[in-house]
Amino acid sequence: MKLGNPATGEDFFGRTQELVDLWRYLESDHIRFPGVRRLGKTSILRRLEGDAPEHGLLAKWLDVSNINTAKGFVLLLDCEFPEHSIRRFLSDRSQQVGNWFKIIRKVEVNLPDEVGGGGFGIELGGEAAPEWQTAANTLHSRLRDQPLLILLDEFPLMLEKLIQQNRQEAEQILAWLRIWRQSSGICRFVFTGSIGLQSLLERHGLGETMNDCFPYPLGPYKLAEARGLWRHFALIADEVPWQVAEPVIAYALSRVGWLSPYFLCLLLDESMRAARERRQEYPVDATSEARIEIEDVNDAYEKLLAERSRFHHWEKRLKDALTPGDQDFCLSLLTHLSRCAEGLTLDELSNRLARREPDPDRCAKRLQELLVRLTDEGYTSTPDINRRVQFLSFPLRDWWNRNHV
């Protein structure tokens, strides 16, 4: 059971329907795969990478969060898909590749005339072509008709850096990727990240640049899946198999709220530890069954909240992404929300934030803009029918309440 790193092999649990859906959509589309932090996006990408050869595709999972130039991005793709690896894959997996080509032939593709012949296709208005354009053009020509699956993790983080440092270069790389997607019926891209890609594009007036990709947002575990995860790993993840009654599992899930695999696994791990300590403190018959009780879940939850490192990145992300004024407004917004387990309506939030922004119109506008970002990045829910908003993750809510005045 992985407690932070991507879940691979036997540690990967569930997500059966998501994998079926993704492979089905990949037959005809490139995919935008948004999902908030700690939902297991990277684990799913790694599973796609591992399963891809059976589907006839050579896949690479690439974390691009540290890339901050177009040149660096093009160089990474070039290095990760060397010609000898592609040739070896085509030789070793010829039957599967043939099946992929048969699937693609069934997909009706209508390409615009201007992209049908490939090529780079960016007009730079008489300026000198950027240094990376030649390498990008060569890479496009080499890879566009190969059976590849390019899994770009944390793509929004890379794009955000590009926009901040050189907007023109960001626009050019987006245009280049769009041309590649629209001029190839073979290669496939999946773009994912823990910050909202579409909202990032829209904030910078680039909302149309990736509308050719099919959006498949990743949600939390379904209730039955979360229950199954607890039952499964309680039996195999520790030195002894732990029994957990269904009411105890239901109680544990109610404390997690948003059924993120990360917090589900953390709470289970801490619950097993608490149960072990309880049994050591109050010895029982050695033959008695090892069981996790509700008191163990409560002890585990308290220990989980005491670990600042588990939550600090949620706070750091806002400090890194927002201007000082918006940062103060946003931290105040989340602090007010953290004090109300049932959440607050938009009107109630506006009233509480009036001291920060006395002008009601400006307050409403700032609140709306920040809630879009907070929802995209997994802090808060979308407003319900009563216009009520709350924290998605209850552990994050309770940690925030205890650590922010």
Structure tokens at 329: 């407004």
Inside any domain, residue 246:
yes
CATH number of 354's domain = 1.10.10
Across the range 19-37, mean pLDDT stands at 91
pLDDT (0 to 100) of residue 129:
67
Strand-pair partners of 59: 149
pLDDT (0 to 100) of residue 285:
59
pLDDT one-digit tens code per residue, 3-12:
767 787 888 8
pLDDT band at 298 (very low <50, low <70, confident <90, very high): very high
pLDDT one-digit tens code per residue, 186-226:
899 999 987 778 888 888 899 889 999 999 999 999 999 99
Task: Give yes or no for residue 130 having a pLDDT over 80.
Answer: no
Q: Which of 31-35, 66-70, 100-104 shows the lowest per-residue confidence on average (mean pLDDT)?
A: 100-104
229, 59, 121, 168: CA torsion to nearest 10:
50
Task: Give yes or no for residue 182 having a pLDDT over 90.
Answer: no
Q: Are residues 277 and 333 in the same domain?
A: no
pLDDT band at 112 (very low <50, low <70, confident <90, very high): very low
Task: Give yes or no for residue 376 having a pLDDT over 70.
Answer: yes
Q: What is the C-alpha to C-alpha distance for residues 222 and 220, in angstroms, rounded to an integer?
A: 6
User: Left if phi > 0, otherwise alpha if psi is -120 to 50, otherwise beta: which for 9?
Assistant: left
Q: Which of 159-173, 190-204, 264-278, 343-357 shows the lowest per-residue confidence on average (mean pLDDT)?
A: 190-204
Q: Are residues 39 and 180 in the same domain?
A: yes
Rg (alpha carbons) of the chain, rounded to whole number: 24
Residue span of the structural domain in which 345 resides? 310-403
Inside any domain, residue 64:
yes
Q: Are residues 146 and 208 in the same domain?
A: yes
DSSP state of 345: E
Report the interhelical angle of 246-256 vs 294-306 (nearest 10°).
20
pLDDT one-digit tens code per residue, 135-161:
998 999 899 889 999 999 999 999 999
Residue type, 323: T
Handedness of CA 61, 64, 70, 71 (dihedral sign): negative
Across the range 328-335, mean pLDDT stands at 92
Q: Are residues 203 and 60 in the same domain?
A: yes
- Of 265 and 237, the one with more pLDDT: 265
Strand-pair partners of 33: 192
pLDDT (0 to 100) of residue 286:
56
Q: What is the C-alpha to C-alpha distance for residues 255 and 253, in angstroms, rounded to an integer?
A: 5
3-class SS of residue 64: coil
pLDDT (0 to 100) of residue 246:
95
Q: Are 380 and 374 in contact (CB under 8 A)?
A: yes
Q: Are residues 204 and 267 in the same domain?
A: no
What number of other Cβ atoms are within 10 A of residue 262's Cβ? 20
Q: Are residues 287 and 320 in the same domain?
A: no
Q: Are residues 114 and 145 in the same domain?
A: yes
pLDDT band at 111 (very low <50, low <70, confident <90, very high): very low
pLDDT above 90: percentage of residues in the chain: 57
Task: Give yes or no for residue 369 having a pLDDT over 60.
Answer: yes
pLDDT (0 to 100) of residue 284:
65
Inside any domain, residue 366:
yes
Among residues 215, 238, 273, the one where a domain terminates is 215
Q: Are residues 68 and 155 in the same domain?
A: yes
Handedness of CA 51, 197, 132, 145 (dihedral sign): positive
pLDDT (0 to 100) of residue 287:
55
Among residues 215, 246, 264, the one where a domain terminates is 215
Structure tokens at 115: 């992209």
pLDDT (0 to 100) of residue 125:
44
What is the chain's mean pLDDT, rounded?
Answer: 87
Among residues 215, 249, 267, the one where a domain terminates is 215
pLDDT (0 to 100) of residue 127:
56
Split into its structural domains, the chain has a count of: 3
Across the range 162-183, mean pLDDT stands at 91
Across the range 98-102, mean pLDDT stands at 87
Q: Are residues 302 and 325 in the same domain?
A: no
Residue type, 105: R
DSSP state of 121: -
pLDDT (0 to 100) of residue 82:
94
Q: Are 349 and 334 in contact (CB under 8 A)?
A: no
Q: Are residues 372 and 384 in the same domain?
A: yes
Q: Are residues 127 and 188 in the same domain?
A: yes
pLDDT one-digit tens code per residue, 116-127:
444 444 444 445
Q: Are residues 322 and 374 in the same domain?
A: yes
